[in-house]
Structure 1
Amino acid sequence: MTAVHLLSLATANPPNILTQDEVVEAATEIFSARFPAFSRMTPVFAHAGVRRRQLAQPTDWYLQPKTWPERSAVYDEVALDLFCQAAEAALAEAGLSGDEIDTIVTVSTTGISTPSLEARAMTRMGFRSDAARVPLFGLGCAGGATGLGLASRLARAQPGSTVLLVCVELCSMAFRLDNLAPADIISTAIFGDGAAACVLSSGPSEGFATVTGAAEHTWPDTLDIMGWRVEPNSLGVILARALPPFIVKEIRPAVERMLAGQALALDDVDRFLCHPGGMKVIEAIEGAFGLGQGALDLEREVLADHGNMSSPTVLFVLDRARRRGLPRRSVVTAMGPGFTASTVTLAAA
């Protein structure tokens, strides 16, 4: 089987930094009069595990009602900038230029842009006119792992080719002032904006890791666990309270099946690199895999510093892990709408 190497990885965030204390202050001002149960939900902010996050716009922008066109205009501008920042940094680390990329995989679920972001970035990034474009929508928080797995398959399908993966999400574009529900409050407590990019190659360069396997598992009849509702002025979040118990019950056997397809068992994995969907999700994963509380320390760090950025977040975790030294075998894993879990198995270079 043709080897696929991860040559580089870079991350990017917008410049508007908001601490969790500032979020609580703004949320209290906004929600207390609109959502009668808000006072009972304020502990969510303290227990979210988020110290700060980065947002596409300054705080004041979110304090006035916004239309779909207004949100879309911000998405087109800011998501494109983050796409290019992350992609440029990943290419620079790999020692490559945009015209050396054969395939561009773009993952984003928090905005709708047609043409998609990689098309908008063609001239700015110097991509070739014959580069293949693969935009992926609807993967949500699973998108970082799913996109990485797909990018590796595309690189392997054309030996010698180079693939750029970019995940970019503006979760804050779903912030809303109307039709509030508990899920909207929870989202306000945990979500942030960001992007990550990596370069993969099936050529001679080795990079910092080799992708040795990838797999996905989708549970039937679980469409109501996580996702978006398309509403007149915004995307309405779907986030089931039953998610952590579902993870405790279901994730281990699903991952065991995915690893078995690669002739591996859980004990063969030195480190799971997990999407930190929230503190309860992190604790549920630790419990399901028998890791011990606090084992997913990198995940807690990323959540604290950036919040849950949806698809790029697990790549932020991978970036911290590789800078501190990847173990012999690690598995990148994330869960998202579907309800789906994705895994990508890496061997350290």
Structure 2
Amino acid sequence: MTGIRIQGVGTAVPEHVCDQTYVRKVVENLFSERVENLERLLKVFDHLHIEQRYIAREPEWYRQDRGFGETNDLFIETATKLSISAAQQAIARAAVRAEDFGGIVVASTTGMMTPSLEAYLAQDLGMPMDVVRLPLFGLGCAGGVAGLARAAELSTIKDGAPVLFVAVEICSATFQRNDLSKSNLVGTSIFGDGAAAVVVGRAEVGPEVVGSYHRLFPDTYDIMGWDFIDSGMKVRFSRDIPHFVKTHLPGVLEEACASWSITKEEITSFITHPGGAKVLEAFAQVIGGDRRTLAASHEILRLHGNMSSASILFVLEKMVKNNDLQSGYGLMSALGPGFSSDQLLLHNQ
């Protein structure tokens, strides 16, 4: 065991909340005269697994053409605000002092900043100026797991000093009103905005980080990612992701468990990225569970949609708050661009 434990978790969302019915109407008005068979494509909004999402601006804001500069400014403004809020919650729950932090890790893929976001957060939160900074970009939905793993490793290197990890995504800043592809419609139907923060460090209580496992799948770049165009970031993902999960994840979990010298049957809790209902169904099949096994993931998906890297930390917060992490091993699991899979093994007392 590493002795590095999760000490506090915090989350934050923007003030604007919209339900699926309203977003569907906005999208229908935008695309009705430009897309053939729109009614058929709009069926992606007609699912019960997402009821609402939080976004950075009122839906009407997204009706206008916005250049990359303007949408990226939206990212910077909202990501900074939400990250500070989530971080302050996590630090308060961890009951640690800002001046004691040895590192700060930030994962985000929906906007760009130079200096990167953690430079601002470290100063705004009162961290020491020799704090180790680690920005992570391009991990997408896997960023929540991968980033938490890097934060735990950094804490180990820093002799157990507290490390703050923040995952923040402003997915609405990537909306492309002139992109008539099905991928854009699907993305518009599931993505939301949010930030989550976790404090890890050497402590006596809290879920302990046992180890991590990363698996990159060769020649799978087209499955998930972003294309950078003049108006911003254009989403790219394949409808075959659920099938990919069923086909490849069993082997990945076997490899991961072998690297930790445990069996899959020893895992008592699953903290899974809520990428979509079909992805969760596929994962449940892989682990031999059902909807109840991933109840927290389904609940976060229902109330927040897919917030990319931040989502799984919302699931973690919910399970910690509700004491849903059973005694024994817990597995955090997510998929991201690459195409790749990230796993993090926890042990709960």
TM (normalized to structure 1)? 0.97
Q: Which residue of 1 aligns with 2:285?
A: 287
Distance 2:258 2:206 in 1: 25
1:200 counterpart = 2:200: yes
Contact 2:2 2:209 in 1 (8 A): no
Q: Which residue of 1 aligns with 2:165?
A: 165
1:293 shift after superposition: 4.3
Q: Which residue of 1 aligns with 2:307?
A: 309
Distance 2:159 2:99 in 1: 18
Instruction: Provide, for residues 115-148 of structure 1, a one-character-per-residue CA deviation record: whole Å limited to 9, x for no partner.
Output: 1111122332112111111000000000001111
Contact 1:67 1:234 in 2 (8 A): yes
1:48 shift after superposition: 6.1
**Paired AA for residue 283 in structure 2:** I
Misfit runs of 4+, over 6 Å: none
Q: Which residue of 1 aligns with 2:260?
A: 262
Q: Which residue of 2 aligns with 1:68?
A: 68
Instruction: Provide, for residues 48-87 of structure 1, a one-character-per-residue CA deviation record: whole Å limited to 9, x for no partner.
Output: 6110000011111111010011011111111000110011
Contact 2:6 2:198 in 1 (8 A): yes
May I ask how many residue pairs the two structures share in their alignment? Answer: 347
Q: Which residue of 1 aligns with 2:90?
A: 90
Distance 1:127 1:165 in 2: 13
Distance 2:34 2:292 in 1: 37
Q: Which residue of 2 aligns with 1:247?
A: 245
**Range 97-106 or range 303-312, more displaced:** 97-106
Matches within 5 A, 1:23-42: 23-42=23-42
Distance 1:136 1:44 in 2: 31
Distance 1:158 1:120 in 2: 21
Distance 1:222 1:47 in 2: 28
Distance 1:207 1:83 in 2: 25
The gaps in structure 2 that reach 5 residues or longer are: none
1:318 shift after superposition: 0.9
1:45 shift after superposition: 0.8
Distance 1:2 1:290 in 2: 29
Quick one: structure 1 residues 37 and 234, their matched pair in 2 at CA, closer, same or farther if it must change by over 3 Å?
A: farther
Q: Which residue of the other structure, out of 199, 206, 222, is the alignment partner of 1:224?
A: 222
Contact 1:48 1:278 in 2 (8 A): no
1:343 counterpart = 2:343: yes
Q: Which residue of 2 aligns with 1:327?
A: 326
Instruction: Provide, for residues 232-268 of structure 1, a one-character-per-residue CA deviation record: whole Å limited to 9, x for no partner.
Output: 1110111101111111111111111011100011101
Calculate the aligned-residue CA RMSD, in Å. Answer: 1.2
**Paired AA for residue 57 in structure 2:** Q
Distance 1:21 1:182 in 2: 18
Contact 2:227 2:236 in 1 (8 A): yes
Q: Secondary structure at the match of 2:309?
A: coil
**Paired AA for residue 128 in structure 2:** R
Quick one: structure 1 residues 179 and 164, their matched pair in 2 at CA, closer, same or farther if it must change by over 3 Å?
A: same
**Range 113-122 or range 285-294, more displaced:** 285-294
Q: Secondary structure at the match of 1:295?
A: coil
Contact 1:48 1:190 in 2 (8 A): no
Q: Which residue of the other structure, out of 211, 214, 222, is the alignment partner of 1:213?
A: 211
Q: Secondary structure at the match of 1:224?
A: helix
Q: Which residue of the other structure, out of 230, 233, 236, is the alignment partner of 2:234?
A: 236
Q: Secondary structure at the match of 2:153?
A: helix
The gaps in structure 1 that reach 5 residues or longer are: none
1:294 shift after superposition: 4.3
**Range 175-184 or range 29-38, more displaced:** 29-38
Q: Secondary structure at the match of 1:261?
A: helix
Contact 1:286 1:295 in 2 (8 A): yes
1:160 shift after superposition: 2.9
1:8 counterpart = 2:8: yes
Matches within 5 A, 1:116-155: 116-155=116-155
**Paired AA for residue 231 in structure 1:** I
1:201 shift after superposition: 0.5
Contact 1:98 1:126 in 2 (8 A): yes
Matches within 5 A, 1:97-116: 97-116=97-116
Q: Secondary structure at the match of 1:347?
A: strand
Contact 1:208 1:322 in 2 (8 A): no
Distance 1:221 1:118 in 2: 32
Quick one: structure 1 residues 184 and 104, their matched pair in 2 at CA, closer, same or farther if it must change by over 3 Å?
A: same
TM (normalized to structure 2)? 0.97
